[in-house]
């Protein structure tokens, strides 16, 4: 793997080094992004470039160590230690994010495939792989991109500073220094309802400070600063000051003391000189605090590397809990990192970034390094199980500017005629109806008013106005992916009945196509059922993870049915069970992490593939979903039942006709009609008419298909499968 190495003669190299192993109780992480802490790392590189005299002046603490060594070991040995130190490369970086590749057996919290934010100058390096102890890693929640999560450690420094300050709502705080940490402090204070006055030597930092929420910005050393502060505070002075500067001059401290009100507070986060004049500090009874890095636990090896957490009742905000809080702020949008991210560059270009920083050519604030395909990859997942998230996919298709010209339909079977077309008729002009049987195509043309009938589905994509049209696919399963790909290539908006495709390769091809053209909606109709809408209201009203059990008594499959033709259907689990796996994802609104599965009826005999299955799915928010899909049972039993257990309630849907909710020692009951086919068609029709946004994001359907593939792998391999 590759890692940035810094030498004490000023050299920086991108070296090939061995891949580390997960530490005791920790994890090995494949880095996807890391952040250059511009102020801190620029200082390190500059100091490394100094001669010995300059180094001694910059680090008198190190000089004292050399003198101590000389007294105990002699000058020769002491200088040999200095020489070895100068020749030894050191790592750079302390704030990164990536994906867990391996987990030490002593860790039960993290799993292979988890996205994690990592911190620590001892481990979270600018490198393709890093070995991180448990306490210096935090799981990245859905809604936070890895490039954002890579800031977590630096944000935690700012958050610990704010915690030391203990600001009250509405207080006025002056933040001196608008480097990356100062800007993050400004943003966090603003998010908490504190008014901020930002000060920096560089006028160029003003737009960044204002974007992060500073109410006012002043240039340090400018005339009239005292008057500006007096006017801003009504003559009282600021309630508190944060020193986020790095200087050996006492000017920022003197400015802070002059600006602060009686009994105000000062918090020091930067490596700055703090000499307080006794008279001024005494008369104002100033309280001064220092913020030590990411929070309690920092520099305590028993916490960071020994995994000994502090009880929350005694230490509310440890460094790991600060990590979690920062990630939540990113998730909710309370902290926007875009304004301070001036560059996102490939890891291979990192040395040039440092050169520009040290030379003064660059005015960067936040620089994110992005890692592509890594060298020396370890722990590779077998190709059959590989399912990396498609992070470049659009979350949802936005509302169309103009309605589509027409809707073409491919597949005119009984399902399409009964469950789909009646709900679209009159909403969108019908173009061509395509079916393998000409007689059926002609019948549907006449019944629903299509402009033409055909038996060649390829022909609907060669029309001159194809890109202005939509297509509905209701064929047998093996044709779904080829038709969807052809439709996307023609720029069409697509509705395809479940399943979306039959293989991971087909899904990967659709990923590429949908990222650049058209939109795709899969017929996961049960999400849209009226009973589902009411059930989701119940789930949203209760906090915490949920447990759901979906039981399907599908009945025996006639071996003459086309579903029994594996080449056409992909099997009953893939063709039908995907519905109910999607429904579990819909209920929890969380990412599935792993799945256990087994067949519950022999796969041999007339149907040489799984016909019945029991599965359990673990979700990122702690929820658990169970699916029992059985071909055996008695027809007097309901075909579909879904029971959800949550905080203070139990809810049960029966055949999507009844919803019973037990809560507060009372039972309420509602009745409904339909499994969501009509509602999904109407929602898609409104999208095609440019009246509403796309009703079902492709990323959601894709996730459900990946979960289905993983379930089949779990059956095949005989053990749980990570997604």
Element (H, E) at 504: helix 504-514
Domain total in the chain:
4
Q: Domain boundary residue among 493, 524, 555?
A: 524
pLDDT tens, residue by residue, 602-640: 544 444 456 789 999 999 999 999 999 998 888 889 999
- 175 and 139 assigned to the same domain: no
305 and 363 fall within a common domain: yes
Same domain, 338 and 318: yes
My answer on whether 570 and 657 are in the same domain is yes
369-407 pLDDT, tens digit per residue, is 999 854 443 433 333 333 344 434 444 456 888 899 999
Q: What is the pLDDT of residue 379?
A: 36
Hey, which residues does 130 pair with through a beta bridge?
Answer: 29
CATH of the domain at 662: 3.30.360.10
Among 489, 509, 524, which residue terminates a domain?
A: 524
At 30-53, the pLDDT tens digits run 999 999 988 777 666 666 565 555
- Domain-embedded: residue 692: no
pLDDT per position as a tens digit, 699-718 = 999 999 999 999 988 888 88
The pLDDT assigned to 333 comes to 95
483 assigned to some structural domain: yes
Contact 466/459 with Cβ under 8 angstroms? no
Q: Say if residue 431 is in the same domain as residue 360.
A: no
Q: Is 389 a member of any domain?
A: no
Give domain status of residue 29, yes or no: yes
Would residue 295 count as lying in a domain? Answer: no
Range of the domain at 561: 530-675+697-722
Confidence (pLDDT) at 261: 95
Least confident interval from 133-142, 293-302, 601-610, 693-702: 601-610
540 and 630 co-located in one domain: yes
Q: Which residue has the higher pLDDT, 430 or 57?
A: 430
CA nearest neighbour of 430 among 472, 464, 463: 472
Residue 451, domain member (yes or no): yes
| Residues 317 and 364 both lie in one domain | yes
Residue 635 host element (H or E): none
* Residues 6+ positions from 511 with CB-CB distance below 8 Å: 390, 393, 702
Per-residue confidence (pLDDT) for residue 455, from 0 to 100: 85
550 has a pLDDT exceeding 70:
yes
Claim to verify: residue 353 and residue 331 sit in the same structural domain:
yes
pLDDT-derived band of residue 78, with 50, 70 and 90 as boundaries?
low
For residue 271, being part of any structural domain is answered with yes
Which of 290, 314, 344 delimits the end of a domain? 290
Question: CA triplet 449, 450, 455: central angle to 5 degrees?
Answer: 140
| Model confidence pLDDT, tens digit, residues 213-241 | 999 999 998 778 899 999 999 999 999 99
Are residues 140 and 162 both part of a single domain? Answer: no
Q: What is the CATH number of the domain that holds 133?
A: 3.90.180.10
Would the pLDDT of 107 be above 50? yes
pLDDT at 410 over 60: yes
Mean pLDDT of the chain: 88
| 174, 241 Cβ separation under 8 angstroms | yes
* Dist. CA 7–CA 18, nearest whole Å: 18
| Alpha carbons within 13 A on the beta-carbon side of 560 | 0
Residue 447 has pLDDT above 50, yes or no: yes
pLDDT score for 257: 93
CA–centroid distance for 556 within its chain = 41
**H-helix or E-strand containing 404?**
none
Kindly state whether residues 591 and 669 are assigned to the same domain: yes
Q: Are residues 603 and 716 in the same domain?
A: yes
Residue-wise pLDDT for 411-423, tens only, equals 988 889 889 999 9
Percent of the chain with pLDDT over 70: 88
Greater confidence (139 vs 373) lies with 139
Q: What is the CATH number of the domain that holds 239?
A: 3.40.50.720
pTM beyond cutoff 0.85: no
Instruction: Name, of 53-57, 97-101, 609-613, the range with top average pLDDT.
Output: 97-101
SS3 316: coil
Tell me what pLDDT residue 631 has: 87
Q: Assess if residue 653 is contained within a domain.
A: yes
Residues 127 and 171 in one domain: no
pLDDT classification of 464: cutoffs 50, 70, 90: low
Contacts of 715 (CB under 8 A, 6+ apart): 573, 597, 598, 599, 610, 613
Query: pLDDT of 497-511, one tens digit each?
Result: 999 999 999 999 999
pLDDT at 601: 62
């Amino acid at each position: 793997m590759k890692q940035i190495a810094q030498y004490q003669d000023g050299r920086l190299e991108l070296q090939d080094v061995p891949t580390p192993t997960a530490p005791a109780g920790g994890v090995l992480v494949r880095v996807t992004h890391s952040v250059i802490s511009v102020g801190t790392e620029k200082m390190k590189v500059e100091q490394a470039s100094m001669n010995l005299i300059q180094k001694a002046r910059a680090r008198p603490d190190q000089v004292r160590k050399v003198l101590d060594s000389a007294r105990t070991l002699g000058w020769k040995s002491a200088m040999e230690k200095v020489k070895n130190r100068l020749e030894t490369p050191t790592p750079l970086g302390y704030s990164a994010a990536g994906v867990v590749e391996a987990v030490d057996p002593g860790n039960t919290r993290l799993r292979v495939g988890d996205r994690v934010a990592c911190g620590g100058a001892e481990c979270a390096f600018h490198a393709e792989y890093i070995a991180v102890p448990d306490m210096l890693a935090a799981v990245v929640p859905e809604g936070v991109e890895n490039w954002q999560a890579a800031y977590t450690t630096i944000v935690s420094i700012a958050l610990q500073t704010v915690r030391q300050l203990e600001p009250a709502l509405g207080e006025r705080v002056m933040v001196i220094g608008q480097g990356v940490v100062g800007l993050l402090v400004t943003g966090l204070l603003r998010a908490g309802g504190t008014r901020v006055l930002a000060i920096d030597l560089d006028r160029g930092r003003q737009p960044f400070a204002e974007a992060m929420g500073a109410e006012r910005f002043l240039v340090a050393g400018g005339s009239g600063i005292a008057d500006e502060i007096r006017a801003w505070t009504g003559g009282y002075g600021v309630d508190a000051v944060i020193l986020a500067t790095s200087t050996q001059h006492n000017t920022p401290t003197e400015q802070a003391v002059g600006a602060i009100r009686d009994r105000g507070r000062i918090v020091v986060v930067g490596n700055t000189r703090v000499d307080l004049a006794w008279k001024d500090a005494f008369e104002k009874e100033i309280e001064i605090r220092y913020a030590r890095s990411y929070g309690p636990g920092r520099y305590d090896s028993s916490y960071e590397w020994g995994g000994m957490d502090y009880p929350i009742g005694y230490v509310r905000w440890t460094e790991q809990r600060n990590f979690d809080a920062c990630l939540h702020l990113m998730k909710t949008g309370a902290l926007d990192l875009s304004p301070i991210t001036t560059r996102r560059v490939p890891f291979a270009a990192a040395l040039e970034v440092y050169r520009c920083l040290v030379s003064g050519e660059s005015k960067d604030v936040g620089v994110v390094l992005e890692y592509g395909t890594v060298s020396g990859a370890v722990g590779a997942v077998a190709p059959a199980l590989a399912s990396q998230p498609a992070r470049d996919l659009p979350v949802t298709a936005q509302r169309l500017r103009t309605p589509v010209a027409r809707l073409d339909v491919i597949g005119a079977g009984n399902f399409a005629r009964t469950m789909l077309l009646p709900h679209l008729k009159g909403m969108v002009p019908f173009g061509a109806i395509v079916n393998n049987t000409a007689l059926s195509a002609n019948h549907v043309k006449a019944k629903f008013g299509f402009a033409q009938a055909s038996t060649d589905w390829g022909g609907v994509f060669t029309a001159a106005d194809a890109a202005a049209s939509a297509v509905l696919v209701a064929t047998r399963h093996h044709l779904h992916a080829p038709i969807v790909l052809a439709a996307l290539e023609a720029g069409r908006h697509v509705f395809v009945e479940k399943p979306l495709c039959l293989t991971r390769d087909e899904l990967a091809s659709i990923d590429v196509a949908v990222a650049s053209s058209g939109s795709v909606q899969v017929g996961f109709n049960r999400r849209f059922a009226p009973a589902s809408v009411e059930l989701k209201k119940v789930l949203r009203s209760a906090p915490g993870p949920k447990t759901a059990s979906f039981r399907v008594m599908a009945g025996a499959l006639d071996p003459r049915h086309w579903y029994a033709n594996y080449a056409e259907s992909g099997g009953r689990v893939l063709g039908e069970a995907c519905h109910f796996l999607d429904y579990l994802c819909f209920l929890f609104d969380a990412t599935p992490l792993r799945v256990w599965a087994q067949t519950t009826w022999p796969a041999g005999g007339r149907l040489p593939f799984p016909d019945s299955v029991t599965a359990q799915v673990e979700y990122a928010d702690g929820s658990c979903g169970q699916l029992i899909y059985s071909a055996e049972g008695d027809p007097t039993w309901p075909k579909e039942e879904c029971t959800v257990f949550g905080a203070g309630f139990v809810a049960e849907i029966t055949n999507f006709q009844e919803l019973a909710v037990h809560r507060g020692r009372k039972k309420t009951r509602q009745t409904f009609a339909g499994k969501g086919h009509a509602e999904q068609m109407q929602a898609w029709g409104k999208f095609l008419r440019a009246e509403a946004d796309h009703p079902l994001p492709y990323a959601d359907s894709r996730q459900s298909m990946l979960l289905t593939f993983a379930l089949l792998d779990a059956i095949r391999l005989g053990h749980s499968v990570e997604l």
